[in-house]
Structures are given as structure tokens and as C-alpha cells.
Amino acid sequence: AQANIGVIGLAAMGSNLARNLAHHGNTVALFNRHYSRTEKLLAEHGTEGNFIPAKTMEEFAASLQRPRTAIIMVKAGAPTDAVIKQLEEAFEPGDIIVDGGNSYFKDTIKREKEVRAAGFHFVGCGVSGGEEGALNGPSLMPGGTAESWKTLGPILESIAAKVDGEPCVTHIGTDGAGHFVKMVHNGIEYADMQVIGEAYDILRRGLGLSPEAIGDVFADWNKGDLDSYLIEITADILHEKDERTGKPFVDVVVDRAGMKGTGTWTVQTALEFGSPVTGIGEAVFARALSSHPELRQAAQDSAPAGPNNAITVGDQATFIEDVRRALLASKIIAYSQGLNEIEDGAKQYGWNIDLGAVAKIWRGGCIIRAKFLNRITDAYTNGHPAALALDPYFAKFLADAQESWRRVIKAAIDAGIPTPVFSSSLAYYDGLRSKRLPTALTQAQRDFFGAHTYGRVDTPGVFHKLWAEQNRPEEQQA
Ligand code: NDP
């Protein structure tokens, strides 16, 4: 046995990950259900490093040093279960099975339990960065036992993206913690993309700027606090012309955004915890709204009344700076909410997750990589804010930005341009700032119609008012 690591599933992600492993001095055992994919990888890239192809799972197991370590990169769901089963038959207790697919974290928790009971280590590992990341350095979010991290850690560190010499991987926590954090990461990515879309829309429909001019604005923003992969590619996209028509490329793309489900999982999970991830939620629903052509057509046909989208400003440069601040403020809120969901998940599932370390490994390799993640790491290294938005650095930014933020939202509302994440993020911020919320009234209503009880501001305890019998004193319950 010569291989120190194996990869199962050699489609786009698996073959790139296998090559990345080989490029970093690992000897990589290869297995794919249909051997043709293995042959293709060897034919095209076999000279890039040490690969040991296997036609059967038994051959694959025999080519691996113990404890065997294999990364599964197949379709999430039933295919992953099928491969785990085969591995349990071919491997021996103590070996490490890694699932690098986009698995739902609850499946990972369940699988980890079952696979551990059979004597193996099971690591659900979030892999971010798409095909390019898999090849040149992904951001990796492994869960599983601390013991499996001892063997797996150095291998993952060798292939992860590097920022300032530090690998973008850390042991997130036990069982499903890695896939959980990867899920929230994807949710944050939805919000991050949506706030960029809202800024674009305000500049396009509101100010009437061309895609090219907006591309210049984004390229400029990319030099400051917003420096990030998503802002960078936005500038590139807006500068791009369609080859066929010569029009701005963005104008020939159908305005329906697809989704593969991780954003939805993030929101569903947040709903289970009661975690207010309004930014991610609005971003998921914004894509959902875009993807109802019949509904949108019916609305167009009935031509609902509203303003014509034009925003008149005194000084354009000043307003564009307001939009930049509104974007960054909304982005900070979305991250703040997402990180709080991770904390809620950690509490729920008994994980010990270091949010500073999480922000650090998102700095490279993944889609949300951004300079401002350094600030998030600092926030959680220097203290433990109840929310990122309350960390002194971010709180000051929000305080300074809020007037711009409000001006932009007001302008968008007056012009009839929807800004679901900008607006809901500001509502969240104002909700946090409020000494008293109207939920006092909500709770009184609940007590009125459902005897759901209420707490008093002046006396501890649980109360219920006998609403129908006005003259009787209120009753205190246990
Ligand atoms: P696909 O999700 O398209 O899956 C194809 C691979 O799964 C092939 O190797 C295929 O084998 C194998 N497979 C399918 N069904 C079975 C089965 N029943 N038993 C055994 N093997 C099976 O490949 P990708 O490379 O796009 O993605 C791999 C994993 O990585 C997925 O879980 C995906 O969600 C995740 N991922 C993808 C990212 C991306 O950007 N694409 C980013 C991060 C994670 P065969 O060749 O024999 O059909």
C-alpha cells in the first residue's frame, strides 16, 4: 500500500481535488463507479503527480496505507450513502471516511453516528470554492473527531487555499459541524450576492448609469473595505459585452436566479432555532420571486401603479458613496446574523465553534472571500461580541454609515426599486437598537386570545389577565 489518501468520485470536483492532492506530494488512490472517468483523469493529468487507479473498491482499499483515509466526492444524498456502505465493507475499523460533498448537516450527524458505531471515523467536510477552488486551493470546513483531524489535518492543510501563509482550513467541531458551517457560509453568500444586486439596481434603474459605468464603480469599491471576490467578478461581469449582440452581457441574461438549496437549508435551520437571519432569508426569497415568471407576467400585464424608478440626486458621487455604505452596512448585518446562527447551531448541537477561526478560513478559496473577514477574525479574537454588529469596529462603521443607509433606502422606496436585504437589514439594526419593541403588544394579544401569559416589566413571574372579567384581579401562574 502506497497511497496516503484516496478520492472516490472523479467528476469535476473529485478529479480537481485529486490533482490538488497530487500536486502537494500526496500519493492519491483513485476510484470512480464508472472506470472511464478514472481513465480520463489519468490520460489528461496522470503526469501531474502520483496516482494509483483502482477498478474496484477492494483494489482501492488495498492501495491505501493505514489508517486509510478516503474523501468521497459524489452526488449528495443516496449516492453518498451507497459509497459509505461500500467503504465500510472494504475498509477496516480505525480508517477515516471523509464526505466532501454538499451534504445536509443533519445527514452528516446521522451518518457519523452510524459509521462510528461500525468502528470508523467519519468526517463531514464542507468544501468551498467550486471546481477552481478544488484544484488550486479550497476553503475547507471539516467536522468529525479530533482524532481523525490528527491524520486528516496535515493533508487538508496541504491542499487548502493559503492567505498570508495560513491554510484556509480548521477543525470546525464534531460530527456535522463542518457541513453546518459550510451551509451557513452558502447562506451568507446568497445575502452577499443580493446586496450587490440591490446596489447595482439602484445605480442602474435609479441613476440610469450604464453597466460599464457601474462596473467602474464596483472596480473602485474593490480597492477599499469592500475588496472581495464577489465585488471583483461583479465589475468584470458588468464590463463584459455579449459576443453575439454586442450588448452588455448582463442585459442578455434572463433575470431568474437559480438555487441548489443550501440557502434554503440555512433559512429552514434558522427557523428551527428562531435565529433571525433576515438578510439571508430575503436573499433566498428575492431569488424565489425572480423565478416565478407567470406571477411576474401577470403583474406586468395588470401594470400596478408605481413610480418610474428614477432617482434624482444633487451630487452623484456623494450618492454613490451612500450606496457603497448601504451595501457594506447590509453585508455586515447579514454576516452578523449568519454568525449568530452558527452560535445557535453550536449551542443546539453541542459544538465548540471558534467564529474567529471560521472567518479566517473564509478569507481564501471560497466565494465569499474578502478582506473584511480579517476584521471579523479580529472581532472574535479581541472579544466575544453578542453579535458582530456590536463589535466596536463594526458598530462604529454602522453608526457612521446609517445616515447613508437610510438615505439610500428612502430613495429606493420613493423610486419603487425593491431593496429587500438593504431594508430588512436596517430594520434588524433598528430592532436591536430599540429599547421597547411592539412585541409587548403582540404578547398582550397572545394573552388575550390564547391565554399564552405574559411577563411584567415591574414584577418577576408569569401572568395571565382574565380579559373577559374586567373587575377580577390578574392571576399569577406558576
Ligand atoms: P456530481 O455531483 O455531478 O456527481 C458526479 C459523481 O458522483 C460521479 O463521480 C458519479 O460517478 C458519482 N455518483 C453518482 N451516483 C453515484 C452512485 N450511486 N454511486 C457511486 N457514485 C455515484 O459531481 P461534482 O464533482 O459536481 O460534485 C461532487 C460533490 O461535490 C457533490 O456532492 C457536490 O454537491 C459537491 N460540491 C460541488 C461543488 C461544485 O461547485 N460543483 C462545490 C462544492 C461541493 P459516475 O461517474 O460513475 O456516474
ipTM for the assembly: 0.97
Q: What's the pLDDT at 40? A: 98
Which grid coordinates belong to 252? 442578455
Local structure of 73: helix, strand or coil: coil
63-120 pLDDT, tens digit per residue, is 999 999 999 999 999 999 999 999 999 999 999 999 999 999 999 999 999 999 999 9
Tell whether ligand 1 has an atom less than 6 A from the beta carbon of residue 41.
no
Q: What is the pLDDT of residue 1?
A: 72
101 CA closest ligand 1 atom index: 32
For residues 275 and 332, the answer to whether their CB atoms sit within 8 Å is no
The contacts of residue 468 (CB under 8 Å, 6+ apart) are none
- Ligand 1 centroid vs 72 CA: distance in angstroms? 9
Q: What cell does 102 get?
A: 454538499
Please name which of 218, 364, 371, 201 lies closest in space to residue 286, comparing C-alpha atoms: 201
Residue whose CB lies within 8 A of the most ligand 1 atoms, among 8, 10, 13, for a mutation test? 13
Q: Give the pLDDT confidence score for residue 207 in this predicted structure.
A: 98
> Ligand 1 mean position to 73 CA, how many Å?
6
Query: Could you give the CA distance from residue 108 to residue 100 in angstroms, rounded to a whole number?
Result: 11
Task: Compute, in angstroms, the gap from residue 192 CA to the centroid of ligand 1.
Answer: 26
Q: Is the CB of 127 under 6 A from ligand 1?
A: yes
In this prediction the pTM is 0.96
Here the contacts of 348-354 (C-beta below 8 Å, separation 24 or greater) are: 348/273, 349/109, 349/175, 349/176, 349/177, 349/180, 350/174, 351/172, 351/173, 351/174, 351/177, 351/180, 352/173, 353/172, 353/173, 353/177, 353/181, 354/170, 354/380
* Strand 50-53, strand 96-99: pairing: unpaired
CA of 344 relative to ligand 1 center, distance in Å? 30
Residue 30 pLDDT:
98
Strands 139-142 and 5-8: unpaired
Q: Which of the residues in the chain have pLDDT under 50?
A: none
What distance in angstroms lies between residue 85's CA and the mean position of ligand 1's atoms? 16
Residue 184's pLDDT is what? 98
Bin 246: left if φ > 0, else alpha if -120 < ψ < 50, else beta: left
Cβ of 129 below 6 Å from ligand 1: no
17 lines ligand 1 (CB under 6 A): no
| pLDDT score of 267 | 98
pLDDT of residue 477: 64
Question: Relative to the CA of 130, which ligand 1 atom is closest?
Answer: 40
How many other CB atoms are there within 10 angstroms of residue 287's CB atom? 18
Q: Does ligand 1 come within 6 angstroms of the Cβ of 81?
A: no
Residue nearest atom 1 in ligand 1 by C-alpha distance: 75
Q: How far is CA 277 from the centre of its chain?
A: 12
What atom in ligand 1 is closest to the CA of residue 76?
A: 32
User: Which residues have a catalytic role annotated?
Assistant: 182, 189
Q: Is 347 in the pocket of ligand 1 (CB under 6 A)?
A: no
Using most ligand atoms within 8 A of CB, pick from 8, 37, 73 the residue to mutate for ligand 1: 73
The residue among 91, 125, 146 whose CA lies nearest residue 17 is: 125
Q: How far apart are CA 251 and CA 242, in angstroms?
A: 9
